[in-house]
Structure formats: structure tokens, C-alpha cells
Amino acid sequence: MASFRLRVLGVLLLVAMAATAATAWLTLRQADSQVRESAKAGRQEVSRILDRRTAYGYAHGTWDGVAPTVRSLSAATGQRIRVTTETDVLVADSDVLAGDRRMR
């Protein structure tokens, strides 16, 4: 009788361990997929921002008047956007344009 109980207990432990391992594997797989999708979306946003900024530069030849473009890109992407010159002079900052004067 004790032998039967031990076998049943062993089978139950084996089933519990298999279920736990399967759950952990599925959770890890789903989390990995979500991280990859998030990274892909981030790269697409950066590419979109850079494309619009580059197009503005080519069209105007100067950064004068870039503020509305920075503001609209920031609103569309939810990202902080800063445009600086080669000598690191700030031309436009989406946080400043939105009234948030804190530096991050």
C-alpha cells in the first residue's frame, strides 16, 4: 500500500514539475517575442525621426524654423527630440517646446 502511494506521489510530482517547466518556457518565449517587437518598433521610430529631420535639412539648408517639425515628431512618436549643431549648440528641444524645461 505504501509503495502505491509513493508511486502516485512520484507521478504527481513529475506532472507538477513538467507543468511548471512548460509554463516557464512559454512565459520566456512570450517575453522574448515582446522584447523583440518593442525593439523593432523603437528602431522604426528612430528611423522615422531621422528621415524627417534629414528631409527638413535637405529642403531648407538650415535648421531655422525646425521647431514645428520637432514638436510634431515628438507628439507622433512620444520621444524627446533634440536638434543640435555640429558644435553642440541646441537648436530645438521638444521638451522645451512643450513647456517642460527640466533637463533629463
Q: Which domain holds residue 89?
A: 2-97
**pLDDT confidence of 103, banded at 50, 70, 90?**
very low
Cell numbers at 98, concatenated: 512643450
**pLDDT confidence of 104, banded at 50, 70, 90?**
very low
Would you say residue 103 lies in a domain? Answer: no
**pLDDT confidence of 19, banded at 50, 70, 90?**
very high
Would you say residue 104 lies in a domain? Answer: no
pLDDT in tens, 50-78: 898 889 988 988 888 999 999 999 988 88
Would you say residue 102 lies in a domain? Answer: no
Number of domains in the chain: 1
* Integer Cα distance of 95 and 50 in angstroms: 18
- Report percent pLDDT > 90 for the chain: 35
- Regarding pTM above 0.75, the answer is no
Rounded average pLDDT over 79-89: 88
- 90 phi, psi to nearest 5 deg: -70, 125
Spatial contact of 67 and 93, defined as CB atoms under 8 Å apart: no
